[in-house]
């Protein structure tokens, strides 16, 4: 596993894919910052806000804008992109100890950056069982969740995983987001917390063919996210129907792995799962996000992870904001809530 250097060279073809880098020129950053500050708080008419963000982000230099758009629309682009030199809020309140949202945040440049980037690659969506359906998720270490396989954790390695959700249809990898956007408001105290990403193309290439074949067979049940099982099943497993972990064409595979436990159905599947986590670690790249940086993450082309780090719960802990993004809301209309067309069961 390697950590992205400040000025990484393009990786030679034979080594695992690294993060694409998209850097805003200073003038574009300053203009974006001023316009987002003026746009103010997003909502309550979120579609109006998204339209305004689109107008603002359309003013980015053509090359920068196209890199972001291409990330969202093409099958052969990187699975993860680091966007740098983004504007930040002039004043940032304490990191909320309860996991947010902050009640003291008075400016909304960070929210504009997050939603504006999201709008260039798809449509931000909410899920009732994840952060109460909010579109802007705060990803913050919370004392009670320090050892959990959720975004509240810090003391444990957050396994390579996909962001999935419990679904009555028995598949948790259908209505889940196509992308996540993770934006950094504040780094952790030591500056060591990294976001890793393993691309399914690199994972597939590194696996033994028979292991890959097993992972491509419906021999695994995914456990629903901890945010769901904690609230709904009292911590008991809520398993999907049997699914493969890797699917789709050899050139453009899709991967789905649950953070909260994958239950293999055979001993061969168990061994393949262990191989998978090991290979993810070997081919992954990581980046230590800093304020002014955001990650665009394809939630189908690969899987993120996060090593442990130290939280102090002193108002200066790591603070990311996150969106879930769908390319289209049409295919998940069976889950839409009556009260909000962007929020799903």
Ligand X SMILES: O=C(O)CCC(=O)C(=O)O
CA atoms within 13 A on the CB side of 6: 2
State the Rg of the chain over Cα. Answer: 19
Q: Are 181 and 57 in contact (CB under 8 A)?
A: no
CB of 207 to ligand X, least distance (A): 22
Q: Is 188 in the site for ligand X (CB under 6 A)?
A: no
Measured CA distances, 114 to 67, 81, 98 (Å): 16, 14, 21
Nearer to ligand X, 211 or 258 (CB): 258
What residues contact 241, with CB distance under 8 A and at least 6 apart? 170, 171, 221
Closer residue to ligand X, CB minimum distance, 36 or 180: 180
176 counts as binding ligand X under rule CB under 6 A: no
Q: Which residue is nearest to ligand X (CB)?
A: 195
Distance between CA 103 and CA 94 in Å, rounded? 10
User: Which token pair is 157?
Assistant: 């390695």
Q: How far apart are CA 222 and CA 241, in angstroms?
A: 8
Residue 304 binds ligand X, judged by CB under 6 A: yes
Q: Which is nearer to ligand X, 17 or 306 (CB)?
A: 306
Shortest reach from residue 292's CB to ligand X, in Å: 16
Q: How many residues bind ligand X (CB under 6 A)?
A: 10
Helix (H, G, I), strand (E, B) or coil at 231: helix
DSSP assignment of 38-91 equals HH-S--SSHHHHHHHHHHHHTTS-HHHHHHHHHHHH-TTS-SEEEEES----SS
In angstroms, the CA 265 to CA 70 distance is 38
- Print the binding letters for residues 109-148 with ligand X: x by CB under 6 A, - otherwise: ------------------------------x---------
Contact between 167 and ligand X per CB under 6 A:
no
Could you give the string, one character per residue 26-45, with x where binding to ligand X holds by CB under 6 A and - elsewhere?
A: --------------------
Minimum distance from residue 264 beta carbon to ligand X (Å) = 22
Binding ligand X (rule: CB under 6 A), the pick from 306, 335, 342, 344 is: 306
Q: Does 151 bind ligand X (CB under 6 A)?
A: yes
| Minimum distance, C-beta of residue 132 to ligand X, in the bound complex (Å) | 16
178 near ligand X (CB under 6 A): no
The answer to whether residue 186 forms part of the interface with ligand X (CB under 6 A) is: no
Helical H segments across 92-165, by residue range: 109-121
Answer yes or no whether residue 150 interacts with ligand X by CB under 6 A.
Answer: no
322 binds ligand X per the rule CB under 6 A = yes
Cβ at position 305, least distance to ligand X in Å: 7
Any contact of residue 195 with ligand X (CB under 6 A)? yes
CA distance 266 to 94: 48
Question: Rule CB under 6 A: which residues touch ligand X?
Answer: 139, 151, 158, 163, 180, 195, 304, 306, 320, 322
């Amino acid at each position: 596993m390697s950590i992205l250097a400040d000025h990484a060279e393009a990786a030679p073809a034979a080594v695992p894919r690294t993060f694409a880098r998209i850097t805003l020129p200073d003038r574009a950053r300053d203009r974006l910052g001023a316009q987002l500050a003026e746009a103010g708080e997003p909502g309550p008419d979120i579609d109006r806000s998204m339209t305004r963000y689109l107008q603002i982000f359309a003013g980015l230099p053509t090359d920068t804008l196209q890199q972001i758009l291409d990330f969202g629309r093409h099958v052969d682009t990187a699975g993860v992109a680091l966007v740098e030199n983004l504007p930040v809020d002039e004043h940032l309140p304490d990191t909320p100890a309860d996991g947010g949202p902050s009640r003291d945040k008075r400016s909304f440049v960070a929210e504009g950056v997050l939603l504006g980037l999201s709008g260039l690659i798809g449509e931000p969506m909410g899920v009732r069982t994840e952060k109460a359906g909010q579109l802007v998720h705060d990803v913050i270490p919370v004392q009670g969740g320090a050892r959990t396989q959720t975004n509240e954790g810090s003391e444990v390695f957050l396994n390579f995983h996909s962001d999935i959700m419990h679904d009555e249809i028995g598949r948790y990898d259908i209505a889940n987001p196509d992308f996540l956007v993770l934006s950094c408001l504040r780094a952790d105290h030591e500056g060591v917390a990294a976001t890793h990403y393993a691309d399914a193309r690199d994972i597939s290439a590194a696996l033994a063919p028979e292991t890959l074949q097993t992972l491509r067979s419906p021999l695994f049940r995914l456990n629903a996210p901890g945010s769901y099982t904690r609230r709904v099943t009292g911590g008991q497993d809520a398993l999907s129907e049997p699914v493969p972990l890797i699917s789709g064409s050899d050139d453009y595979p899709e991967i789905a792995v649950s953070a909260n436990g994958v239950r293999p159905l055979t001993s061969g599947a168990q061994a393949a799962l262990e191989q998978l986590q090991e290979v993810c670690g070997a081919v992954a790249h990581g980046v230590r996000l800093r304020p002014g940086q955001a990650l665009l993450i394809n939630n189908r082309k690969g899987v993120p992870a996060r090593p442990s780090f130290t939280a102090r719960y002193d108002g200066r802990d790591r603070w990311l904001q996150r969106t879930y993004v769908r390319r289209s809301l049409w295919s998940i209309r069976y889950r839409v809530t009556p009260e909000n067309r962007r929020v799903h069961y």
